[in-house]
Structure 1
């Protein structure tokens, strides 16, 4: 009887976790929100981001500043990101993005595994991609689930969940400003 009770509890826990993971809003939920997020207009020219990285417990692990420069030819853009962390580490990522007529976007970068896909609706942009993240002298494949919320035409808040095996292992929060 005791094993049945433990099994039942584990089954209920697994079902609850599954339901919670399925309950995240879709980007279309924000269709009527303002101001209207135009990816190409916001990510154009010079931008600067300030942020923090937190671990799975919510503890601050790093601070960072990111200098960005975005250019466009038609609906194809290049976004150069130069990261500087508070421990002195630097990183560069160059995004090659294509903006589609339906507000969807695809992107590629050297450390992104496969293609990033995203879409905007109202004042929100959401995209998802896998990254080979440097970790402890090696690399760890994780999923980045990015939600960008346009606050004003020149400022947005970006929250990224870092997920491994379906479990959030970290979070990045950025404030990105046009300069």
Structure 2
């Protein structure tokens, strides 16, 4: 009986150690330093555009899909990015980012559902954006660590992958596709 408990404890410690190792092995933004095109956040996120996305849980199962309308403008080094999310289950939610360019590809930002200040860094065609997001689930508000990675493909298209974690454990992944060249600038309301 005692041997069985020691084996369980050993497996648990091994699992935690491997999880911590995997979490600590993230890509360094400078890896993309000399990769074109140079992702100019102020230029790309300016004006009206649309994006599509999905949320996958820890097992990679798609749990929600959505469309988002974005409207952005900049006054020198300060920008506003208003987002309207239309989820496939009928929910509509809003977020307005107040962004500040701090020089050398560095940005900070605040939003109504973000705890504290978000920070971001651009390098080459990539942009990493990190923040803590408050998410209401039933009658409780939970805080999740968000690690956004955006990659500019060309002048019109950007892919975004976001890891959503709680206590260092990834609980979901969000994928978005932005298309600034798309003629359609509004999400179509689902018909059923």
Category of TM-score, reference length = shorter chain: over 0.9
2:108 is aligned with 1:106: yes
- Mapping of residues 68-107 of structure 1, within 5 Å: 68-107=70-109
Are residues 1:125 and 2:124 paired?
Answer: no
- Whole-angstrom distance in 1 between the partners of 2:25 and 2:57: 23
Equivalences for residues 29-178 of structure 1 within 5 A: 29-178=31-180
TM, length-normalised to structure 1: 0.94
Note the C-alpha offset of 1:12. 3.1
Per-residue Cα deviation, 1:104-152 (whole angstroms, up to 9, x for no partner):
1000000000000010101000011001112123211111110001111
Q: What is the Cα deviation at residue 154 of structure 1?
A: 1.0
Q: What stretches of structure 2 of length at least 5 have no aligned partner?
A: 182-192
1:141 and 1:10 map into 2 onto residues whose CA distance is 25
- CA distance in 2: counterparts of 1:4 and 1:91, whole angstroms: 48
Cα distance in 1, alignment partners of residues 139 and 126 from structure 2: 35
Task: Tell me how far apart the structure 1 counterparts of residues 171 and 139 of structure 2 sit (CA, whole Å).
Answer: 18
Shift of 1:13: 2.8
Q: Over residues 85-113 of structure 1, what are the superposed CA-to-partner deviations in whole Å (9 max), with x where a residue is unaligned?
A: 11111011000000111111000000000
Moved more, 105-114 or 29-38: 29-38
The normalised TM-score by structure 2 is 0.88
Which SS does the other structure have where 1:29 is aligned? helix
Residue 153 (structure 1) shift: 1.2
Deviates more, 1:84-93 or 1:8-17: 8-17
CA distance in 2, matches of 1:8, 1:89: 44
Q: Which runs of 5+ in 1 are unaligned?
A: none
**Which residue in the other structure is 1:22 paired with?**
24
The structure in which a higher percent of residues are strand is 1
Across the aligned residues of Structure 1 and Structure 2, the Cα RMSD in angstroms comes to 1.4
> What is the rounded CA distance, in whole Å, between the counterparts of 1:66 and 1:12 in structure 2?
41
- Matched residue pairs, number? 179
